[in-house]
Structure 1
Amino acid sequence: MPITPRWELLSFDTAAHAFVFAVLALLTFFSIRRQSRFPKLQSMAMPIVIIGSTLFGGLIEILQSSMNLGRHGEWSDLLSDSIGALLGGFFAHFAGRWMK
């Protein structure tokens, strides 16, 4: 993956990645909690969401690097995806507790 200058870590692109993955984590969390018939899965919703969203972000970056279509994977995007997944997962967890 290409080297990203430090000033680009706070760009609009990285903020957009974090926001999109926060929304993904939030919606996935509530979907698991609401639709799952297995209590064990419901209680493990936050780790599943955070790990799953981060792995999905990693898969996207790997595919961008390997497809050779003018796109390339970036470590900063994966970091932003992970931060967004964490923020979305924690927000969903506390919002879910508050709504009970």
Structure 2
Amino acid sequence: MHMDSITADQPTFFEGFDKLVHTGLFYVLTLLILRGKLKQRAEHSLRFTTILKIVLFSVFFGALIELLQWKVFTYRSGDWWDLFCDALGVAMAVFSYFCLRWDKYAKVF
């Protein structure tokens, strides 16, 4: 869908809506990856190296999407703020994971 058909004055969208969507989608993506890794390992916590790999993968995925929008798709444009919001969503997911699993990580901190 061409973005020209969506205007900022439509009542369902507001300025910054795109950034909110980026943050939310990468928050959910990272939480699902963390949850899947927990189910795969059948343990109650993840190692820091595993969490770091998930963070790097998620941020790399966001950067790849922005690079493709910038270089490949003619009707889209890459944006540094979109990448920042992707990384913010990833950081929020990891923070949520640590808050929910605090009893497993409290002795480390």
User: In which range does the TM-score fall when normalised by the shorter chain?
Assistant: 0.7 to 0.9
Task: Compare the two structures and name the one with the higher helix fraction.
Answer: 1
Q: Any stretches of 5+ residues in structure 2 without a counterpart?
A: 1-14, 105-109
The number of aligned residues is 87
1:79 positional shift: 0.2
| Equivalent residue number for residue 13 of structure 1 | 18
1:46 positional shift: 2.0
In 2, Cα distance between the equivalents of 1:60 and 1:30? 23
Query: Rg larger in 1 or in 2?
Result: 2
Structure 1's consecutive aligned runs of 4 or more residues displaced over 2 angstroms after TM superposition are: 96-99
1:36 positional shift: 3.4
| Equivalent residue number for residue 79 of structure 1 | 84
Is contact 1:53-1:85 (8 Å) kept?
yes
- Greater RCO (Cα-Cα under 8 Å, separation 6 or more): 1
Q: Any stretches of 5+ residues in structure 1 without a counterpart?
A: 1-9
Q: Cα 1:84–1:13, aligned 2, differ >3 Å: closer, same or farther?
A: same
Aligned residue for 1:71, secondary structure, equals coil
Q: CA-atom RMSD, angstroms?
A: 2.2
1:67 positional shift: 0.9
Of 19, 28, 34, which residue of structure 2 is paired with 1:29? 34
